[in-house]
Amino acid sequence: MAKNLMIQGTMSGVGKSILTAGILRVLKQDGYKVAPFKSQNMALNSYVTKEGREIGRAQALQAQACGLDPSSDMNPILIKPMGDTTSQIIVNGLPLGNMKARDYFKNKKSLIPDIQAAYDRLSRDADIIVIEGAGSPVEINLRDNDIVNMGLAQILDAPVLLAGDIDPGGVFAQLLGTVSLMSPEERNRVKGLIINKFRGDVTLLEPGLSMFKKYCDIPFAGVVPYTKLSLDEEDSVSQRLTVNNKFKNKNLVINTYSRVINKCITDRDDNTRNLIIAVIRLPYISNYTDFTIFENIDGVDLYYIDDQDSLDKADLVIIPGTKNTIEDLKWLRKKGLSDKIQELSCKEVPIIGICGGFQMLGKSIADTSGVEGGGVVKGLGLLPIETEFTSYKNLRQVSAITPKLSGFYEPVSDTPISGYEIHMGSSILDDSTDHEDCVITRKNVLGTYIHGIFDTPSFTQKLIKLLYEKNGIDRDIPVVEELSVTQDRELDRLADVLRQSLDLELVYRVIGL
């Protein structure tokens, strides 16, 4: 049986996922066979495995840190919110159904056998499993049915490192308050404390570390510096994208507490300016990791927006994936964004729809099976497709070559692409369209079900070249690096940071090495 270690946090957003990935990378570098595990994840950013199973994006990144292919055993329960009280429940990578929060919390202990079985399968081939908790371990109203924090630590007999986030302030209160609300048995499982995202001179913090011993006898396992990393992040439904409404505010804030992008929009008449890509910030946006690649490309500014005026400044408008296509389409109409997108299409501004955004670009969406509550809604009418939802969920990885495309996108025809599909139902093309469904184009509008399409360097470089030419931007075409290469480099950098900031002797002792 594999040894284990659990990383818990004082709250959501303290950096549990990244700390887990980094510790896994350190252990792998030191010659151990390691695997990640998170019993239950709540996220709208997900990943499809080679077997066509759906897991949290964080566990896919953690698998990469281990040098493993992602597996549904690494995240046996995935909760995908569809509204304020309803979520789709994914068990062992496949949809179990939609549930109200109250019903799920009442019955979730019935999933313990699935959790235990997944963990046992992982442990057969691993020396060490690093387990990630969720949110806070001391939500006292949820303690009795806990299957992801201390409840799981007890089931798996796992020692715990507790992480707090110093960036917003109050880290000592976070740590002490969390430990104080634990039962004696739970407290005994906590073998070390981590302060994450520290900025500045760590010697200024040392008096506080010493003073803290008066209140708590759990040792500190390290103070990890704030480090900007180009790594996928996702956690709970509360961690949505937020953005100032006007481009002139120059800010994009991704509300994961650890990523703030501040980019300037230059004069549009400057032929050396950056390209402006605007992603519609849908209320139920999902898989916004589709656009992480643009954050790492020189000469490209990425913005998430939710107002009409900002769209006028965009060189490319993207409607992203969504967990509730019909509700987000209604929201587009309510905000006047549907009319604005149609207006921009008439002005030949390039528009791309991914998955749910692709469905919105069509003529209609029929939900006769009640997947999203039922009904038929009219689409934006920019692509000649009609979509019908069914209870069957399409989950698969995709490797394809773009068909012969028309209009603005013709130069990206016959280009290799790869990614994955996650969607309910299918879209039917008019007789007048090409019967190639990996990518559909009409004039300046492109639609696809393929998440991760921009992670294909050749496709994205051709797209940027087209956008530069269309907008008279005289810049060298940026080199687009394979996302996996970028992430491997960043994982190694993260491991270096943890080697310098964590007491690895303590960590290894806690694991039992």
Our answer to whether residue 451 is catalytic in this structure is yes
Cα–Cα distance, 141 to 283 (Å, whole number): 28
Amino acid letter for position 98: N
Question: For the chain, percent helix, then strand, then coil, each to nearest 5?
Answer: 35, 30, 35
Q: Tell me the C-alpha distance between 264 and 260, whole Å.
A: 13
Q: Please report, in angstroms and rounded to a whole number, the separation of the first and last CA atoms in the chain.
A: 14
Read off the tokens for 103: 């019903």
Q: Is the dihedral of CA 135, 138, 141, 143 positive or negative?
A: positive
In the numeric block, which tokens belong to residue 208? 């506080």
What is the DSSP secondary-structure string of 39-107?
A: SEEE-S-EEE-TTS-EEEHHHHHHHHHHT----GGG-SEEEEE-SSSEEEEEETTEEEEEEEHHHHHHH
Torsion of CA 201, 204, 207, 212, to 10 degrees: -70
Q: Would you say 445 and 351 are in contact if contact means Cβ atoms under 8 Å apart? A: yes
Three-state DSSP state, 328? helix
State how far the Cα of 513 lies from the Cα of 507, in Å rounded to an integer: 9
Q: Which residue is catalytic, options 66, 264, 346, 355? A: 355
The encoded tokens of residue 244 equal: 């100032």
Catalytic residue, from 66, 264, 435, 451: name it: 451
* Residues classed as catalytic: 355, 451
